[in-house]
Amino acid sequence: MYDHRDDLGLSDEAQAVLVAAARDPSPVRGLTHGYYKYPARFSPTFASAAIKAFTKPGDLVLDPHVGGGTTLVEALASGRESVGVDISSLAEFIASAKCMVYSEAELETLEQWAGKVASLVDIHRPSTPISDYQELGYYKHLDNRSRWRLRKAIEQSVAAAVMLGTPRLEAFGRCVVLRSAQWALDGRSKRATINDFRQTLQETAKDMVVGARELRRSVKAHGRQPVTIFRRSAIGIHQEASLTAMRAPRLVVTSPPYPGVHVLYHRWQVDGRKEAPLPFMIANKLDGAGSSYYTMGDRKYPGLQTYFENIKGSMSSVAALADKNTAVVQMVAFSSPDWQLPRYLEAMEEAGLTEFRLPILEGEADGRLWRSVPGRRWYSAQRGTTPGSQEVVLFHHRR
């Protein structure tokens, strides 16, 4: 059902800004967004525009599928309180690290560390295997003769992060290693050299310090608001005591797993399509789940029944936390939009949410806000335009 009543009070100017932000093809950059390339990355330009359009400073913003923490970072930088929910321990780690606001003293320590971290990787010096993870199989596709140099470099880099001495600083250091090892291993056709890894490690560390300083300046300018992250399924979050004690969110903005679209949230692809759980090891987190655990259902299940049951469950909980002034904004894509979009909208109705559209888009196709995907791990440019290369922004409010 489409609600013609209102657009929750958005001015024509605010609508135009939202549309432009959604269709902005700029790569992800700024603040702490560069700490790690989370798969199917949510657009910070759009998240920021939605936060500014639907909320005012001090309001509560909720992301029930927080992933790499884009929504939380943008809310924090603009002076809004935020809550994120995700079932993945890796997502929890990354989102938490991106939202850390470091003191000047901490930033000076990290700046000094960034200047010397490359020298701490020395193939002629010993490294200490991360034995607990090695025994659990997290070295998969790394623990072989052809990769011993890179394995040693990663072990030495993790040790350098631990040497920073505090959990807050260590989280930063582990993100540096995560981002650098991802560059060296994930989806690469040509093997990275140790010198290349060392250089990337140093450049990444320095860039991340710049991002951390930028976040600190933004928070100082707009006022510090709390960030809360729950590691759990979004289904049932309306029963979380600490969450129900808060006021209703003014905005729910999220990019949930896409129905029928294959995304590896929990693995890197090493040597072609070999899946490796290395990011969890580097983050010092455990993972024992398959892809359907993170995507809310097997994409091969008939009619994606499990997916739609789960998205209905999570958004029902969102609706229970919302009030009549809450805007629910989702950016989502479909492998087969002809039948999946209507089924998705049906699930939203069943969850207690009614769609509204932006009047500014009245003359376009179906009146919804579509955008071309600027680049995702699950989208190959060589394939041309596919159904999964288009995302749609859906607007809802509680019935």
pLDDT one-digit tens code per residue, 241-257: 999 899 999 999 999 99
pLDDT at res. 372: 86
Q: Residue 5 — pLDDT band, cuts 50, 70, 90?
A: very low
pLDDT at res. 385: 43
Which run of H or E residues covers position 391? strand 390-398
% residues pLDDT > 90 (the chain): 68
pLDDT top residue among 271 and 21 = 21
**Kind of pairing between the strands at 60-63 and 81-86:** parallel
Helix spans in 122-270 (H): 131-135, 148-162, 167-185, 194-222, 241-244
Contact assessment for residue 100 and residue 172, using Cβ atoms and an 8 Å cutoff: yes
Whether 287 shows a pLDDT value over 70: the answer reads: yes
How high does pLDDT run on average in the chain? 89
Name the nearest CA neighbour of 181 among 241, 303, 268.
Answer: 268
Q: What is the pLDDT of residues 52-111, one digit of tens each?
A: 999 999 999 999 999 999 999 999 999 999 999 999 999 999 999 999 999 999 999 999
Longest dimension (CA), the chain: 69
Q: Which residue has the tokens 């199917």?
A: 40
One-letter amino acid of 398: R
Q: Which residues partner with 268 through β-bridges?
A: 276
Q: Classify domain 12-101+226-262+299-398 at the CATH class level.
A: alpha beta
Name the nearest CA neighbour of 398 among 344, 330, 331, 326.
Answer: 326
Residue intervals of the chain classified under CATH 3.40.50.150 are: 12-101+226-262+299-398
Name the nearest CA neighbour of 66 among 226, 228, 277.
Answer: 228
Q: Which residue has the tokens 């950016």?
A: 331
CA distance 110 to 117: 10
Name the nearest CA neighbour of 247 among 325, 317, 311.
Answer: 325
